[in-house]
Amino acid sequence: MARVKKKERQELLMQTVKEKPFLTDEELAKALEVSVQTIRLDRLELGIPELRGRIRRMAETAQNKVKSIASGEVVGELIDLELGRSGISLLRVTEDMVFARSQIAKGYYMFSQANSLALALIDSPLAVTGVANVKYKVPVHVGEKLIAKAEIVRVRGNKYFVWVKTRNDTQEVFRAKFILVSLGES
């Protein structure tokens, strides 16, 4: 029976890592109700890199696809990119991103993350921002990992309507709607 349980557990691990690639070993252990050591051994057997390695691997693949801006110009780490459709980026909130007085992250970091991710989705050699409507839902603090997910929801001529939703570990903290304009010939 132990063998079956292990197989099931490893399948569940693979599934979980696929759906939530940004969980640490500790968080995976909690989700699967096993020890951290079990997660590490399972990862080793299955050839799943640790979190940092997973992010690096995803980032390399994603960054090679960006066309409309230079990939280094994406604020945060570009983790996933389906050009012309959707993308994901990760931004760690550090000391230098918060207001000294309130210790709350400056709003334009979330804006920059979302805006540059939205631009990265555009399958054109050149794109600029036309309009942005954004909403800050919860104050963000040092140490939080912000995952922004962007999606092109509509294309009209050279105008791209892109929605971005940004979450920390527990909830949505920010959302944005952009109208981007492609200036280059495709």
By CB under 8 A, name the binding residues for a copy of itself.
68-70, 73, 75, 99-102, 104, 106-108, 111-112, 115-116, 125-126, 128-136, 139, 183
Closer by beta carbon to a copy of itself, 43 or else 175: 175
SS3 38: helix
Q: How far is the CB of 180 from a copy of itself (least distance, A)?
A: 9
| 179: phi then psi, degrees, rounded to nearest 5 | -110, 115
- Could you tell me the smallest distance in angstroms from the CB atom of residue 22 to a copy of itself? 24
Nearer to a copy of itself, 30 or 135 (CB): 135
Residue 33, φ and ψ in degrees, nearest 5: 55, 45
Q: Which is nearer to a copy of itself, 23 or 62 (CB)?
A: 62
CB burial of 57-83 (b: ≥16 within 10 Å; e: otherwise) equals ebbeebbebbbbbebeebbbbbbbbeb
Q: Output 68 or 89, the one with its CB closest to a copy of itself.
A: 68
Nearer to a copy of itself, 37 or 103 (CB): 103
H or E segment to which residue 123 belongs: none
Min. distance of Cβ 122 from a copy of itself in angstroms? 12
> In whole angstroms, how close is the CB of 169 to a copy of itself at the nearest point?
20
Residues comprising the chain, all counted: 186
Specify the 3-state DSSP secondary structure of 13: helix
Signed CA dihedral, 23, 95, 56, 151: sign only: positive
Quote the least distance from Cβ 77 to a copy of itself, whole Å: 17
